Structures are given as structure tokens and as C-alpha cells.
Chains A and B, each alone.
Chain A
Amino acid sequence: MTGNENDKETDRRDGELNNGELNNHDERNNSDDDKDLRARFMALRMEEETQTPEFTLSSMRRQLPARRLATVFARFGVVAVSLAAILVTVLWLKSGTPRRQPSQVASVIAWRSPTDFLLETPGQGLLQTVPAIGEWHDYSKVAEPGAMHSKVKK
């Protein structure tokens, strides 16, 4: 919970408490205790009112088009700066990506797994060759398919 939310929560709780407690409270609070404070504030008000600057709404009206223009320029500026920041970030990210060297690509293609030999099954050479008719082939060198399981009891 943020500090602001905490404040609001406290305000809410205080509000619930005091709506009941202080319903008969005098809104202007003219009790004797408050008169002293009110008098102090009023004296200060009198002093401060003498320093009030002139009310010049008509001169402000003249500033209005300039203010609108300034607002438009400010918005345009914010959008332009944001776009520039995005563009710079994209360019920077692109320039930071390393390019592949042709030699590296070739080495990746030529790579072989160190356990590749495990995929080579017995008799693979026999299966990959086509026997020619009339040509003798020594099949006895090739292990029989059931030889490995001969010791397995049924």
C-alpha cells in the first residue's frame, strides 16, 4: 500500500469516526477557544490583503492565444522527444546485435555430436549396401539377430 493510499485509508477511518462524534459540531466554530485563533487569522488576512496584486483579467485574455500555442508546442515537443528516444533505442539495439561470420556458420553445419556413434546399430553397413546377384558375401560375419537374446529365459 502506498503512502497516498495509507493517507486516504486514515482519512476514511477518521471520517467514519467523526461523522458520528461531531455531528453537533458548530460549523463556524465560534466557541470562545476558537475566537482567539480566528482573530489571529483575521489580523493576518488584513495584512495580506494589502499586498494583493491588481486583478487584471483583461491583460490575461491577451496572453490566451500565446498560452494555447505554447501548449500545442509543448505537446508536439513531448511527442517528438518520445519518438526520437524510441528511434535511438531501436537503432542502438540493432547496432549492438553481433553479425554472424560465414566461417562460424560453416562450422555449425559441420558439427557432429560426440555421442553420434551410439546411433550406429550393428549390421548397419549390411543394410546400407545392396548385394549383387552372384557375388558371394560372408554373412557369417554378421551377428545373428537373435544371438543377443539367446540367454533370456522364456
Chain B
Amino acid sequence: MKQTDFQGELGRLHPASFGWALWCCDHRREEAEEVLQTAYLKVLDGAASFDGKSSLRTWFFGVIRHTAREQRRRRWVRDELLGRWLAMQPNPPSTPTPETSASASETGRALLQSVAKLPRRQREVLHLVFYQDLTVEEASRVLTISLGTARTHFERGKRRLRDILSQTEDKHDRQ
């Protein structure tokens, strides 16, 4: 693939890539932007090279996920270890904070809050299949897990998400 084509493809993928980066960073916008930028720099730098074994989208999503994980690890070291050691303060909440995406609508926020209660793997598979419109097989490649495992996470995630959503809606109706 030519360099210009490659960059054009990345440009076309950009909104989807940002969406995926947002989910990988638990909807912390600034962090997602940083992750995406680092992922682009990795591609430009040659630290991540596309070998054509999978689709560009699958491969680049894998790069984003890997970069987000690195960033999370770095943040954990900084916040948990150094932060506690220096200030001896209680650690900040590590749970996803969908409230940070302030402009999300009521339904969007409800979905984000429900999804935030799921385990990370289930969240990721559901996002890739429903949000990014990938197949379960493609999602398994992005997450570097087997197809069967991805299907399990997909099924369990769906079931649990439906339960959480219905509980939330019931509460909402009662109020």
C-alpha cells in the first residue's frame, strides 16, 4: 500500500478510531486524544507496521488498544504508586466516568453508565460489534483472543447489558 493511500485510509478511519480510543480510555476525552495521537506517531515512526495479514481497521484498532493499555499502565504507576507514596492520599476512582463526555444525550449517558458496569472484555467486544459494526471474528482479532472466547464475551455481555438496562429503566419508570 502506498504511503498516501495508507494515510488516506487512516484519515477515513479517523472518526471510528477516535470512538474506539474513547472506549479504550473509559471515555476520558483528553486521554483518548493522546492515545490516538501516540498510535498515529507509532505508525509514522515505524514502531507499528501493517503487514497486511488482517484489514487495516482491525490492525489499527489493535494498535490503539495496545497504546491505551500502555498509557493505563503508566497512569497507574504514576497515580497509584507515586501519588500514594508522595501525598499519602486516597487513590482516585478508577471506575469509568461516562459523565466526562458531557455532551452525551440522556440515552447515550444511560448506555455508557450501563456498559461501564460490564467487565472490560465484554465492553470491548460489544463496542466492536455494535458500535464499530465489526464481526465477532474481527473483534476477536482486534482483542487478540480466540473466536470462541470473543463469542462467549459477546453473549454474556449482551445478556448482562440487557439486564442492567432494564433495571435502570424500571427504576426510571418508578420515579
Contacts and interface: CB of A to CB of B under 8 A. Distances in A.
Interface of A: 11-12, 14-19, 22, 25, 27-29, 33-34, 37-38, 40-45, 47-49, 51-53, 55, 57, 60-61, 63-64, 67-68
Interface string B30-48: 0001000100110011000
Which 6 pairs of residues, A with B, have the shortest CB-CB distance? A15-B148, A41-B130, A19-B148, A15-B146, A27-B135, A14-B152
A37 B162 contact: yes
30 contacts: A12-B146, A18-B148, A18-B155, A25-B136, A27-B136, A28-B133, A28-B135, A29-B154, A33-B162, A34-B130, A37-B162, A38-B130, A40-B130, A43-B105, A43-B107, A44-B108, A44-B112, A47-B108, A48-B22, A49-B15, A52-B15, A52-B19, A55-B10, A57-B40, A57-B44, A60-B41, A61-B44, A63-B41, A64-B41, A67-B41
B168 interface: no
Nearest to A11: B149
Interface of B: 7, 10-11, 14-15, 18-19, 22, 29, 33, 37, 40-41, 44-45, 101, 103-105, 107-108, 111-112, 126-127, 129-131, 133, 135-137, 145-149, 151-152, 154-155, 158, 161-162
A39 to B, nearest CB: 9
Contacts, number: 112
B46 to A, nearest CB: 10
Given A37-B130, A45-B131, A49-B19, A17 B152 contact: yes
B50 to A, nearest CB: 15
Contact of B152 (A15, A33, A44): A15
Given A17-B152, A18-B151, A29-B129, A43 B108 contact: yes
Contacts of A49: 15, 18-19
